[in-house]
Amino acid sequence: MVWVALSIGSNTRARENFHSCLDMLLLQFRDLALSSVFESEGDGVPGSRYLNMAVGFETDMALTDLVALLKKIEDKHGRARGQATGNEVTLDIDLLTYGDRAGNFNGVVVPHRHVLQKSYVLRPLSQISGKHRHPELKKKYNELLSELAPQFEQSGQRLQPVAFAWHGRELSRQ
């Protein structure tokens, strides 16, 4: 079994899409670790608001099979591929980590480059995988968040927790 972490984002019917996506992941993987849900501004697109969260679980699914499944889930939610930043994104699921693997595996790069670049990725990831180590930097994700938080703040990458519940479980409060 390998520990996997995903980033989920949406700026279109986000709550509805998050609920459906989490249901689909639960049916496949059972025990899900869920971060809080955060609202952030779209990259370089003022006024475009996204909801973001991280999901973690253990799986014995091969990396390529997992990526194919995630694309199917996106497609079932009407995900349009190849669109410009800021357009409607019904559901974006990025594979952040796949155990301690690091590198490019048939076009899939893990850990995902946004782990070290985007607050909306690292902050939720640190909630579900804070004690896990970045496979290349050998630092825990919660340590990386502490180090990078001032940089994120300075660059205007602000996150706001939003009230969000799923099947009666409160994931975050405003």
* Domains in the chain with CATH codes: 2-172 (3.30.70.560)
The model's pLDDT over 52-78, given as tens digits with 9 standing for 90+, comes to 999 999 999 999 999 999 999 999 998
| pLDDT tens-digit map of 17-59 | 999 999 999 999 989 999 999 999 877 666 678 999 999 999 9
Instruction: Select from 57, 95, 98, 94 the least CA-distant residue to 79.
Output: 94
Q: Note whether 159 and 35 are within 8 A (CB).
A: no
The pTM is what? 0.94
Q: Which two tokens stand for residue 147?
A: 């180090």
CA quadruple 30, 36, 37, 41: dihedral sign: negative
- b/e for 129-156, b at 16 or more Cβ within 10 A? beebebeeeeebbbbbbeebeeebeeee
